[in-house]
Chains A and B, each alone.
Chain A
Amino acid sequence: MSRRDRLSGNEAVANAIRQINPDVIAAFPITPSTEIPQYVSLFKAEGKIDTEFVTVESEHSAISATAGAEAAGVRAMTATSSAGFALMHEMLYVVASDRLPVVMAVVNRALTGPININNDHSDSMGSRDCGWMQLYSENAQEAYDNMLMAHRIAEDPEVLLPIMICQDGFITSHAVENIVLEDDETAKAFVGEYKPEHFLLNPGKPVAYGPYGVSPYYMELKRTQTEAMNHAAAVIQKVSKAYGDLTGRYYDLIERYRMDDAELACVCIGSSAGTGKAAVDVLREQGIKAGLVKIRAFRPFPGDEIADALKHVEAVAIMDKTDSFSGNGGPLGAEVRSALYQHKCKAETINYVYGLGGRDVRVEDFYQIFRQLEDIADGEEAPAWRYIGVRER
């Protein structure tokens, strides 16, 4: 039996971790993800989990200990944000190239500077090419659901890649909302036992992890990594379907909101999608054919699905909660445009950089964006990318 509750996003993720009962958690506190290991250590103290909780001295150590435990043959997890995430950067690549199905809770926070504790996506987007899968969550419910699906996706023999389950710092991590929790037995049965084929503490079948990759092998090994990511999309869909059949909450790589006949659309990630949907509903009442595409999986990047969702759209706003400082907009803008070009989509595009460092994103911001899209659809020239929500002279 599922249970209705009201929890913050961090509480939701911590409860998923309690149900998963991983063998090892190594974590270092950093706002706004601190509560996750804090709740987990409380569960440990209360005897609700038998996880080995490793208190480390930095995030570099947190991810290293997590990787070591996973290679040894057990489920290992960690959680982080912002600067802590950045301190893991080097090891993120190692975990991915070692093909260790580590699951990490990421609570997105701006990566300095200037120093800031509030939400944007500059931390995880900064490591978008490290070889991890990334699922983003709109609210506490999705953060919980994504976390319960994470191990089955990551540990699938066709994938064997680490995964980040991301949610927006404070906006969902510290906001109490309604949520449906699965009962412990159902959750545990869905997640299942971890049965790795290869692992270090296996005397009958020894292996060595992390060999030096000399040039004659390095590129072939990277090719296997990208092949695993190629398989990941189908596995995410398969696991999400099984989860939907179990819980009634279905997910895909992207969510299409009122896109069937949409002429104008927004593409965005995370908590702003809900705000955008509310705007779409109001605009629809006014006769404007607005729609929204929410990116759930950013890695693997669902280019085909995005292009399919946008194939009949006249103008689309691609929204980045981080700036690439490329002089060309943000990463989502670049990748969505690439997908549209590849699929010969004719939609006009504009890339918005928004919501940096906790700048609030309002329904009114979406109205403004859709107004601009109407103008673009009517043939008005618009810049390739711009900021929204910034004070301008």
Chain B
Amino acid sequence: MSNTIEIRWHGRGGQGAKTASLLLADVAFTQGMYVQGFPEYGPERMGAPITAYNRLSHTPLRIHSNIYTPDIVVVVDETLIGPVDVTAGLKEGGALIVNSRRAPEEVRAEFPGYTGRLYIIDAKSVSLRNIGRNMPNTPLLSTVVKVSGIMEAEAFFENMRGSFAHKFASKPEVLEGNMKAIREAWEEVVTA
């Protein structure tokens, strides 16, 4: 089981954490990996805290439970830090990715007991700049792929170009913006 990467996403209803987990499953699938992408369901409302999960592995996945000791935690909305114990169970040597425009040390200060790896990406600005809307999913996906190491940069970009071309077949003008967003996110992620 050690070759399985477990990822937990923290977001709010409507922000696309579920979609992000499905996108990541898609990307890993194209690398020939075994994947799971699933949200924790309840009677969610827009804005309520939600959790989504990924398991990515080179061997078949059988466990059908939520993830309690993730390798990677992704915080889609930093206002959840505090109300939600986002680092709960995060493995020693794991990674925490936070979507924030704040300075790395400022974000680090939010996790007094946490000594592990912390990555900051301003996914909102990246998406506003390149896509024209606050769509943090795409840049965050790029960051997760980079941090998890499941793919090399160029292979990932190539892969995303293919899936964007399919997804935005009717509006090709959106394609380049999304491509720029994932490239920028790959470069701009900072380690705190």
Contacts and interface: CB of A to CB of B under 8 A. Distances in A.
Q: Do A and B touch, yes or no (CB under 8 Å, in the complex)? A: yes
Interface of A: 6, 32, 117-118, 138-139, 168, 170-172, 174-178, 271-272, 274-275, 277-278, 358, 360-363
Given A117-B41, A118-B42, A170-B41, A178 B29 contact: yes
B41 A177 contact: no
Contacts of A174: 38-39, 41
Interface string B71-111: 00000000000000000000000000000000000000000
19 contacts: A170-B38, A170-B41, A175-B36, A175-B38, A176-B35, A176-B38, A178-B29, A178-B35, A178-B61, A271-B64, A274-B63, A275-B62, A275-B63, A275-B65, A277-B62, A278-B1, A360-B65, A361-B65, A362-B68
A362 B65 contact: yes
B22 interface: yes
B37 interface: yes
Given A6-B25, A6-B29, A274-B62, 17 more contacts: A32-B41, A117-B42, A118-B41, A174-B38, A174-B41, A175-B36, A176-B22, A176-B37, A177-B61, A272-B64, A274-B61, A274-B63, A275-B62, A275-B64, A275-B65, A362-B68, A363-B63
Contacts of A139: 62, 64
A228 B97 CA distance: 58
Interface string B30-63: 0000111111011100000000000000001111
Contacts of A171: 38, 64
Contacts of B29: 6, 178
B81 to A, nearest CB: 23
Nearest to B62: A274
A297 to B, nearest CB: 20
A360 B42 contact: no
B26 interface: yes
Contact of B66 (A168, A172, A272, A360): A360
A117 B41 CA distance: 8
Contacts of A361: 64-65
Interface residues of B, number: 22
A47 B41 CA distance: 32
Nearest to B57: A178
| Most chain A CB neighbours (cut-off 10 Å) among B22, B36, B64, B66 | B64
A115 to B, nearest CB: 9
Ranked nearest first, the 5 interchain pairs of A and B with the lowest CB-CB distance are A274-B62, A175-B38, A271-B64, A176-B37, A6-B29
Contact of A178 (B22, B34, B38, B66): B34
A267 to B, nearest CB: 17
A277 B26 CA distance: 26
B65 A6 contact: no
A117 B42 CA distance: 7
A274 B34 CA distance: 14
A389 to B, nearest CB: 11
Nearest to B66: A360
Contacts of B68: 362
B43 A6 contact: no
B37 A175 contact: yes
B145 to A, nearest CB: 16
A82 to B, nearest CB: 13
Interface string B1-44: 10000000000000000000010011001000011111101110
A278 B38 contact: no
A278 B26 contact: no
Contacts of A117: 41-43
Nearest to B24: A176
B21 to A, nearest CB: 8
A140 to B, nearest CB: 10
Interface in B85-144: none
Contacts of B34: 178
Contacts of B1: 278
Nearest to A175: B38
B67 to A, nearest CB: 10
Contacts of B61: 177-178, 274
Given A6-B25, A117-B43, A172 B64 contact: yes
B63 to A, nearest CB: 5
| Most chain A CB neighbours (cut-off 10 Å) among B22, B36, B63 | B63
A276 to B, nearest CB: 9
Contacts of B62: 139, 274-275, 277-278
A253 B1 CA distance: 29
